[in-house]
Amino acid sequence: MKTVVAVTGDFYHEKAWADESLQRAAQPLIDAGEISLTSIDAEQLIETLQQKPDVVILFKENRLNPQDEHVRIWMDAEAEEQIAKYVREGGTWLGWHAGLASYPEDGAYVDMLRGHFLSHPVEHQVVRYEAVDGTGIGDPLQPFSFLDEHYFVTVREAETEVFLRSSSVDGESIGGWRHTCGEGKVLCLTPAHLQEGLNDPAFTEVLRQSLVWCTK
């Protein structure tokens, strides 16, 4: 059985919604005895990495108090190095939505991800997600859409595999990418922000298939 730990929720991202979405996607794997899923707080993460979980999921941005004058962060440079070391030595990291946001662009964490969040439009719009053929995540013949915070990201495409693309009235971007990193693996997924998208059946399947890839 593979051990999966998740850090979810922040000022702008409802923990309960993310947990519900993740639980729904993971339940078939839990029922089959393939994985265990545990939720931890961000301050427990570095200590937990010493226990070598098989997969870590991060759905949390770096800023703890984004609306205050003096913004505090939870992932400092030392934590970034510990996370990158965990992956290089064989761990798997799933950076999900907020887990791609507000981390230093020149830091070890973003370097490991090979991409990061740039911006999203102020207004939520219907975002269309389309799977890339042959990647095994999502159905390229069945694009799906829902009201979402359209994440625009920058990705070092030559150094990763894109498996999901996104588009809206605001433009086009990448919705998911994955790669090996040292002895470990990294998968990044940009949807979803609202409860509607987090509960969308097609997205649930993409998240489940992402978990399958992470636990291979």
What mean pLDDT do residues 134-139 have? Answer: 96
Residue 171 bridge partners (DSSP): 168
**pLDDT at residue 131 in the model:** 98
Answer yes or no: is 110 within a domain: yes
Percent of the chain, pLDDT > 90? 99
Answer yes or no: is 79 within a domain: yes
**pLDDT at residue 170 in the model:** 96
Residue 129 bridge partners (DSSP): 144, 166
What mean pLDDT do residues 190-214 have? Answer: 97
**Does this model's pTM top 0.75?**
yes
Answer yes or no: is 203 within a domain: yes
Domain that holds residue 191: 2-116+175-214
pLDDT tens for each residue of 36-91: 999 999 999 999 999 999 999 999 999 999 999 999 999 999 999 999 999 999 99
* 5 close to 53: Cβ distance less than 8 angstroms: yes
Answer yes or no: is 142 within a domain: no
**pLDDT at residue 137 in the model:** 97
Cα 14 to Cα 21, 97, 138, 170, 214: the distances in Å are: 11, 12, 25, 24, 24
Answer yes or no: is 121 within a domain: no
Tokens 């839990």 correspond to: 30
Answer yes or no: is 140 within a domain: no
- pLDDT mean across residues, the chain: 97
pLDDT tens for each residue of 106-129: 999 999 999 999 989 989 999 999
Answer yes or no: is 147 within a domain: no
- Residues sharing a CB contact under 8 Å with residue 13, sequence separation 6 or more, in sequence order: 59, 60, 61, 97, 98, 193
Structural domain count, the chain: 1
What mean pLDDT do residues 162-184 have? Answer: 98
Answer yes or no: is 132 within a domain: no
From the list 58, 57, 53, 59, the residue with the least C-alpha distance to 2 is 53
Q: What CATH number did the domain enclosing 13 receive?
A: 3.40.50.880
